[in-house]
Structure 1
């Protein structure tokens, strides 16, 4: 059974006022341990789950080029859109579960997770037309007909994965709030090994083609869902999971609004797809799309690292605010921001140092490598800004600012970033550099606005609002007793 570090203190003991460098270093080391206890396994989990689709594309490379293009298109566009929406909507639980855990209202965590399952399952049904009519949608965006038809066919095979997304992310946020991050990492590692084995068996040995790829990917994602839920059901989350309850069907409207606001916060995923579509309209579109795709690939791997920091700070902020410890929350923000900036500068200088060669592993085209090299400086600054932005977004989620940040993100990316990219690319003939400069403008503006909001926040007031939020979302649900309303299936503590 996982024994987490003590990540929150009592409601009476907030962080003492720091009066010396020695105290600063002491508290800094303690907070760093708490941060990496959460961030390390979360980073591994993100990379492992991100790799499931990447491995499928690698094995699809043993098939025809057309099948590789079809798998890549479905994975990046159709499944990518669904992944972003499900991840975003599931992030609503980071606020609610984290603050409930900090306030020791453990019984509400399981109810929140079930509410999120209901909302996300309904959203999965709403997203089904994207999978069913994938071919027609891709043709509408001028995709090659052969690729569109095969990608649409593969999308139909991948419908089970969509519903796995809908169950997986609420479970993950439920576990993260309790610092059960090592469990997520272990299950993801086993799923990755299973996926490698199944892909080799079904695609290489049995030569089942796209059907084999779909079976392997679907089975692996459902292994993640079932594995995590078995851990919960066996009683390793005492107090937080008390069985299926009718209370999950209460307050669904307000819960849905919070979930949708959380999804809108993850607008970067949608912005990347728009970037690729716009690049296809530039002069020499094949080179433009290839260069931007290489940079997006590198950005994706970096994002998995900082997604771990996002999860860690979200848990720390929500736990500390729920426990009524605003000073500890502010100190957590300081420590995680410094840590992420250090890593951001490492990525920044690595890209500048390797600007002439980092595109070579992705392509055999000297022309594409040249364009990637030209992008290096603006791309390096994008990675630097992207090291801080996920942390500040995690702070926002932990504090419950989803609606505000959703509006900020939409404005920064779509009212500023996209127009700037279009103007620089098409009217000033800057091509790919102009397009990526628009991306940098959106990310930079978003980061500056979030810094301003975070610095100007009254964290004592946020702690009081966290207590009000817990009462609002959990006031009608008493701590479970033997008479609690429940559905037939009930898992007791092992």
Structure 2
């Protein structure tokens, strides 16, 4: 992080936005890519974020598992409800909170500490507003499922599950905001402790509600809501009581309403950016259901999507570190250091992808048995592994670049990239290969690989050829303000 500036207004030249001329163009140099100090910083930041992501994902997953033990109908309903909740609610909340990666990250680097708390409050207000809208959608889920030609009994079961998950939607939105708020300050260990402990108690809560109270399916989704609220309340209490956060959290303030418009300008593109990518993978599962041998095709594509999602959780931790480091350095007026941080994140993602690829190459049969007992599906999954390794590699690459765009505040550009590469390149190619050329499930996955590849190239082009913002501090009227050059 940069040292504090002089209180006098600094005259800044346009060439300053690129750093020293001698350093220009050398951000990918060997010395910088192998910067052990930067690597250590990112690893220590990313590992706790991986644990948090897995814990949050596991809460809803464990509830679905318990619901599945009640019967096939309950399993189908809970799975449909959880998928719908992820697509329409949880993914949107994660996307909205991505605005805090930009705003809080750059404010922290610029030492505008008070603004972090104001942006957190503005983010929670917006999350609450959109949670209300999404809740109405969930309340009327049953007729929507029937309109989408789902089985009426499964639709009714899924609607019951969703209605009891509505309180968890609000808590999930608040949780994501707190996570980004602490992440921007590189305060991540409290996130680990406050995610592991509720995750442990969740097993007891869901078991008690499902098996002891007699409410069955409702208890599974109620348990997820309760555990998410426990997570949120515990983290909120930590923020309110921690002396470490006294400069960034000064309590509730009506001033936060003035930041809502600023937040929305970044949050809505961030949400769209995240959802467009998420929906593309869900669309693949729906397309697989239209194949001639739909049972096998749907199982294979669903297994690949789940494997990709789990692998991406590790990338998510690294991308969180990348966006934090980039935003902090840009806030501190150090675009060259921000580029060095990006280079290191890409290097670490390469090592991570290699590890995941080797694990899949040698353990794919064991992994497949976690999803199915069908020897035919296990055998066909083995033929998918090379394609899956390629897609995970491209997904990891674009995940880091997407994080950099969030750190730079370029979500509005990334939205168009995701829209174009997935829905005008990836999905059309998938349909053509899968249905017209009759490559079926493999054709669908090759199409999404094309989309991921084009997305990575487009994001890399933006990052390489667009001038990176440099933020400095000046003092006017006794208040610190930002100067973009």
Distance 1:97 1:325 in 2: 16
The residue that corresponds to 2:9 in the other structure is none
Among residues 272, 285, 288, which one is paired with 1:279 in the alignment? 288
1:260 pairs with 2:253:
no
Among residues 240, 244, 256, which one is paired with 2:252 in the alignment? 244
1:9 pairs with 2:16:
no
Matched-pair contact (CA < 8 Å) for 1:347–1:384? no
1:84 pairs with 2:99:
no
**Does the C-alpha gap of structure 1 residues 22 and 120 become closer, same or farther in structure 2, counting only changes over 3 Å?**
closer
The residue that corresponds to 1:111 in the other structure is 118
- Deviation per CA, 1:131-170, whole angstroms, max 9, x where unpaired? 1111122222222221111001111111101111221111
The residue that corresponds to 1:172 in the other structure is 179
The residue that corresponds to 1:325 in the other structure is 334
How many pairs does the alignment contain?
463
Distance 1:111 1:407 in 2: 29
The residue that corresponds to 1:301 in the other structure is 310
Moved more, 224-233 or 121-130: 121-130
Q: CA deviation at 1:356?
A: 4.8
Matched-pair contact (CA < 8 Å) for 2:118–2:259? no
The residue that corresponds to 2:206 in the other structure is 199
- So what's the TM-score if we normalise by structure 1? 0.88
- Deviation per CA, 1:39-75, whole angstroms, max 9, x where unpaired? 0111110011111111112222321111111111111
Distance 2:58 2:192 in 1: 13
Distance 2:387 2:84 in 1: 25
**Does the C-alpha gap of structure 1 residues 23 and 286 become closer, same or farther in structure 2, counting only changes over 3 Å?**
closer
Unaligned runs of 5+ in 2: 6-18, 481-485
Matched-pair contact (CA < 8 Å) for 1:87–1:263? yes
The residue that corresponds to 2:400 in the other structure is 391
Alignment of 1:43-58 (within 5 A): 43-58=50-65
Distance 1:73 1:26 in 2: 44
For the aligned residue pairs, the C-alpha RMSD in angstroms reads 2.6
Moved more, 372-381 or 65-74: 372-381
Moved more, 134-143 or 433-442: 134-143
Matched-pair contact (CA < 8 Å) for 2:122–2:263? yes
Among residues 157, 171, 174, which one is paired with 1:150 in the alignment? 157
Distance 1:367 1:141 in 2: 30
Distance 1:27 1:363 in 2: 42
Distance 2:34 2:428 in 1: 44
Matched-pair contact (CA < 8 Å) for 1:247–1:477? no
- Deviation per CA, 1:295-350, whole angstroms, max 9, x where unpaired? 11111111111111111111100000101112211111111110011111222233
The residue that corresponds to 2:11 in the other structure is none
For the residue of structure 2 that corresponds to 1:324, the secondary structure is coil
- So what's the TM-score if we normalise by structure 2? 0.90
Among residues 168, 185, 188, which one is paired with 1:161 in the alignment? 168
Matched-pair contact (CA < 8 Å) for 1:81–1:270? no
The residue that corresponds to 1:312 in the other structure is 321
**Does the C-alpha gap of structure 1 residues 28 and 388 become closer, same or farther in structure 2, counting only changes over 3 Å?**
same
Matched-pair contact (CA < 8 Å) for 2:33–2:347? no
Alignment of 1:410-421 (within 5 A): 410-421=419-430
Displacement over 4 Å in runs of 4+: 14-19, 475-479
Distance 2:261 2:450 in 1: 35
**Does the C-alpha gap of structure 1 residues 246 and 214 become closer, same or farther in structure 2, counting only changes over 3 Å?**
same
- Deviation per CA, 1:106-155, whole angstroms, max 9, x where unpaired? 00001101111111111112212321111122222222221111001111
Distance 1:78 1:346 in 2: 31
Distance 1:476 1:27 in 2: 43
The residue that corresponds to 1:341 in the other structure is 350
Distance 1:477 1:422 in 2: 60
For the residue of structure 2 that corresponds to 1:10, the secondary structure is coil
Distance 1:107 1:142 in 2: 51
Among residues 241, 251, 262, which one is paired with 1:234 in the alignment? 241
- Deviation per CA, 1:68-126, whole angstroms, max 9, x where unpaired? 11111111122443111000011001000000000110000011011111111111122
Q: CA deviation at 1:379?
A: 1.4
Distance 1:29 1:254 in 2: 36
Distance 2:379 2:148 in 1: 28
Q: CA deviation at 1:17?
A: 5.8
The residue that corresponds to 1:483 in the other structure is none
**Does the C-alpha gap of structure 1 residues 355 and 194 become closer, same or farther in structure 2, counting only changes over 3 Å?**
closer
Alignment of 1:13-92 (within 5 A): 24=31, 28-92=35-99
Matched-pair contact (CA < 8 Å) for 1:98–1:322? yes
Matched-pair contact (CA < 8 Å) for 1:11–1:325? no
For the residue of structure 2 that corresponds to 1:359, the secondary structure is helix
1:431 pairs with 2:424:
no
Distance 1:299 1:476 in 2: 52
The residue that corresponds to 1:440 in the other structure is 449
Distance 1:226 1:251 in 2: 24
